[in-house]
Amino acid sequence: METGGGRFGVSETLGALNAALKKKPGPPASVWFKESSARNLRSRDFLAPQAALRPLFPGGQVPKDIIEDVISLKCPGVPPLQSCQQTPLGLTVQLQRPAAFQQVLNSIAEFTKPFQSAGGQSIILNCTPLWSWRSLDMLSLSNLRAILVTDHLAEVLRIQGLNVHLVPAVPDEGIQKFLHQLRVDWPSELETTFIPEDVLALKQVLSQCPYATVPGLEPGQTRLADDVIFKVHLKNFLAQQSLEGYDPNLDVCLVTEEKLRVLAQLRQMALRCAGTGPGGCCRVVHVVSCEGEFQQQQVDLLWRMLDLGAHTALQEELMVKGDRISLKTFLFLLCSLPLPFWSSTTDEKGSVPASEDLDAKKHLVCGPVKVANSPSPVGAPQYFQLRRCQMYEASVMKYGDLVQDNSWTEIISVLTSAAMRFEMLSTAHQSQIFLNLEDSSISTKGTKSGAFVMYNCARLATLFKTYQQAVEQGAYPAFPPASELNFSLLREEGEWLLLFNYILPFPETLSQAAQLPLSSKGIRITASTEAEPLPHLFSQMFARLQLMRGVRDVIHRALATLHLPPLSQI
């Protein structure tokens, strides 16, 4: 094979290893997998299990010439291999680790961005709870979860190169202030001009729709609900269109002026995006709280009836039952949290498919949020105030009077937002969340807490600050160029775990956007520069610092998808 170049990738390596074992025409069998546990990585990096080899080779014994081909494997995206051995467990491969360290850490910027780009395609994220949110006191925890999921999903998609449009606009200053405190950047004005005539046009279409009737009083009714202008028979429409995945209880929808205004704004945005995106395509994702799922299905079907254009066939409402597809929220840091990602429409290479490949009939529904041991309902504003007070009190206990400094106002704000985001996003979006609001639930020691992650982010900042101060004092030499570092000195188990499990897969994680629900336990590693300087250890110290720079850059990139700035001190 040709000698490869470019940055290494896990999927490229697995593909090349599978192809090396191919014996028959057609796609190669997927027999290899990447190791991740510290125990297994002591002896191997990739494994083709014996059970997977038996269908390919008699008794699962791989011929020597094929093993030699694997060892000499050189192709784009594949790190150099150190060894390939037949063992009782199967065929094992170990990489040339110093070469892998050198390649990755010499070009760390390449490993903090996605492999694939969506090429400027447009997508609308419709956060449905915001349409009916009239005051801050009405915001439930489930609605807050949907907002945070939408905000995070938007940033992940932007990183992949998509043009993301958020709806609806939120003009209320009080609500905008609350969202700003959570570091949610939400538009306050519509990107398109709402024209009242659009609602009149929709009424005209409904008046000629075979599924719509002018409402009359049912037996036993004395008056119609306010603002009802049409009754639409959704069940008949569903049966004729053979649409699947919808609630079987959908029957009659009472159409109001408000529903038509929502639809008019969604249609305007979709038409605008379709006119600017490649191929005239615009996708729509409805992010729905569990309480609003039924109503949003009504709106979706109404849109399908009314829209005379093609873009409703591209609606993507990600759902969680039957053929529904789940979102694994992206939280990638030095802790045991699920790696991001939104998955439904990426292909096996992580790229966004062409418009004709899109499945058109799905919602993203966020599960309920419950509060443990709470005698009364807890709203989002109350939850925010409680967490902010707890973060302040925890900081005072740890740092005393230092917390009175003005700089701590921003720190407490970031810690509060981090705590809430990690609580809301570290569980698969369709699953129920149980919040523990007791003071004991806030700690910098729990690996799944936002405070823990931000604390360790600040520790990395302190490490580099301490080193720089030592350089200025003449205790350490200046940091040499990365190309001059001796990465063969990185032999510790934790050093390879950081590179192989976190830095190396990170670009693919961004690109695939949760095509696979990845998770792994976090690793805490320390690199102290506070000991007495010993010249013969400088080379090892520089290599470790470069590794920590890679870890820091990956963490900063991951935090950016949550709109959380990295802290330099806590």
Residue pLDDT, tens place only, 67-80: 999 999 988 889 99
Judged on CB neighbours under 10 Å (0-12, 13-18, 19+), 549 is middle
Backbone φ and ψ for 356, nearest 5 degrees, come out as: -70, -10
- pLDDT value at position 282? 74
Sort strands 228-233 and 212-213 into parallel, antiparallel or unpaired. Answer: antiparallel
Sort strands 282-289 and 327-328 into parallel, antiparallel or unpaired. Answer: unpaired
How far apart are alpha carbons 273 and 190 in whole angstroms? Answer: 13
- pLDDT value at position 166? 93
How far apart are alpha carbons 336 and 334 in whole angstroms? Answer: 7
Residue pLDDT, tens place only, 118-148: 666 788 899 999 988 778 888 899 999 999 9
**CA torsion, points 361, 366, 367, 368, in degrees to nearest 10?**
-130
Residues with pLDDT less than 50, the chain: 1-4, 308-361, 447, 513-537
How far apart are alpha carbons 65 and 557 in whole angstroms? Answer: 43
**In the chain, where the domains are located:** 10-95
* pTM for the full predicted model: 0.80
Beta bridge partners of 284: 124, 315
How far apart are alpha carbons 105 and 484 in whole angstroms? Answer: 11
77: left (phi over 0), alpha (psi -120 to 50) or beta: left
Which residues are within 8 A (CB) of 425 and not within 5 positions of it... i.e. 6 or more apart?
A: 148, 149, 152, 329, 330, 331, 562
- Cβ–Cβ under 8 Å, residues 568 and 414: no
Q: Coil, strand or helix: which one is 434?
A: strand
How far apart are alpha carbons 267 and 5 in whole angstroms? Answer: 46
Which residues are within 8 A (CB) of 332 and not within 5 positions of it... i.e. 6 or more apart?
A: 339, 340, 502, 506, 509, 554, 558
